[in-house]
Amino acid sequence: MGLRSFSILRNVFAAVVCAGLLAGTAACGAADAKRTAAPTSHSPGAVAIFTPSDGITLSQYTPLNKWAKLVPEITQQLEDLGFSSDNISTYKDTSLDKQSQDIQDYVVNIASGNKASSGSDADDTTLIVAPCTSTDKTVAQYGDYVTTTETASGDDDAVASERLSSALELAEKSGMHVIVLSNDISGVTPDALVRMSTASMIGQLQAKQLVNKLQLDSASASKPKTIEILLPVSASSDDGGNGSTQFAKEAFSGMWKVLGPYFRSGAAVTASDTLNAKTTGSSWSSVAFTATGDDDIKQELTARLKNDGSSSPAHVDGIIAMNDYVASVAVDELTALGYEGSAADINPSISIMGIVGSLSGHKDLTKSAVPAPQGADSGGNTSENDTVLSWPVITGYGAYTAMLPDIVNGKQWMTALEDRQGIAKDIAQAAKRLSTGGSLASMSSVSNKTINGKTIPVITGKLVAVNASNLKAKLIDPGYVTLADAGL
């Protein structure tokens, strides 16, 4: 069916619904949705949460932030705010087509006055929607919550997108509230948009962490720090600004806002000559490479470090690996190339044993410096006559459970993730305020931004940087991971 014919049918359909002639129509279709009873007197209303299905993860390299982890935390926060568990429905869908049908069915039931599926009226019903997207494989390595640029890949996706937009338009016209997570939905102006992370935020955070650890403010053109940026893209990415290509552009722009001044002053250089004083925020392609598997990453890193044709790799102070998968391969390749030590040797403030003791709960962090490796100064630089290849600072993103032992032992300096619990709390608070006629303006995480030509409240989540010294406080104590996950 063409889009024009579909739109005509949709308009007729919506009119009939609004006239109240569709009472008792299609029931909500997701198999995992909770079937609800009549509302309790204390409940602020009903909430329906629609997210993509996580699917089956075949690799150990899985980001910590998945939809399946966020939904239970949103549900718990809603219950803590007085929402009845019977009035909270959750839906997981493997495709935009299925998701749009589930949302359409839910909205039609409420708009037609059928309370059987929610127990509430339209004006105290809130939809929380994370739209299913055709996420590029490389972008997926950063987690489920990253804002992406989606394009329809065929007529089926276009029809599903139109169905989703129409259903949410009907929801809003009927008095329901709509909160959209991560990605905009074409043609829809929600009551609130939740931005959890973006490529620019991820790139900027890693650059800042690298600057602080390497103490780049103390570096100079006569004593610079050597930095490499590994920016992975997919082989399938086109040149139209979509998928991992667009992600790479935005990520590099974010990190260059931080690193640019150091390269322009000569305080930062590369072993590969990929970056220099003339590099701009749009020069992402100079450090981008196709990463379809481990070998691509290993070959790229080795080529960067042996750029001068030498049989021995060059000294490097820091590597921005972008995500924990790339970081894990970089750790393996650096080990194979003969690099020694750990990030704890670079501008040390704590010892590995102190870190392990703290994580295990046996003692506080040891605030004493560990010896720098032979031939290295206090900044981690190796002298020209020294043959020891000192271990660099490596940054990543995603908080992969498989990589936590490397965080503990200092092989990977830091990772990061979205503040999942904070995001869940903000989403639940927004849902309650909307359902009770309140305003989102006083929420500290809310700022007004223009989306689709209209000014709406945008909730912006925080990114949490994690290294060995704060891993216990940031990941273990909140319950994100266990001591066993960290290799302890």
In tens, the pLDDT along 119-177 reads 567 778 999 999 998 778 899 999 999 998 654 455 668 899 999 999 999 999 999 99
The domains of the chain are located at 3-196, 199-417
Share of the chain above pLDDT 70, in %: 77
What is each CA distance from 420 to 55, 188, 196, 204, in whole angstroms?
A: 20, 25, 9, 19
The neighbouring-strand residues paired with 447 are 458
Q: Which residues on neighbouring strands pair with residue 464, listed in sequence order?
A: 417
Rounded Cα distance, 107 and 400, in Å: 37
Two tokens, residue 59: 């690799």
Find, among 195, 200, 171, the residue nearest to 184 by Cα. Answer: 195
Give, as one character, the DSSP assignment of residue 354.
Answer: H
The reply to whether 199-417 shares the fold of 3-196 is: yes
Q: And the tokens for 453?
A: 């030509």
Q: For the structural domain made of 199-417, what CATH number should be given?
A: 3.40.50.2300
State residue 253's pLDDT score. 97
- CA-based nearest residue to 272, from 307, 297, 299: 307
Report the alpha-carbon distance of residue 352 to residue 366 in Å, rounded.
Answer: 9
CB 366 within 8 A of CB 351: yes
Which of 166-180, 234-248, 406-420, 458-472 is the least confident region?
234-248
Does the structure show a pLDDT above 50 at 202?
A: yes
User: What whole-number distance in Å separates Cα of residue 466 and Cα of residue 417?
Assistant: 8
Residue 116 has pLDDT above 80, yes or no: no
Q: What is the mean pLDDT of the chain?
A: 83
pLDDT tens digit sequence for 182-200: 999 988 999 999 999 999 9
At 120 the pLDDT is 66
Residue 296 near residue 290 (C-beta atoms within 8 A): yes
129-138, 314-323, 359-368: least confident range:
359-368
Contact between 431 and 126 under an 8 Å Cβ cutoff? The reply is yes
Cα–Cα distance measured from residue 186 to residue 368, given in angstroms and rounded to the nearest whole number: 54
CATH of domain 3-196: 3.40.50
- pLDDT reported for residue 17: 40
- Tokens 């279709």 found at: 29
Sign of torsion over alpha carbons 256, 138, 427, 170: positive
Question: From start to end of 250-369, where are the E strands?
Answer: 268-269, 288-290, 318-320, 339-340
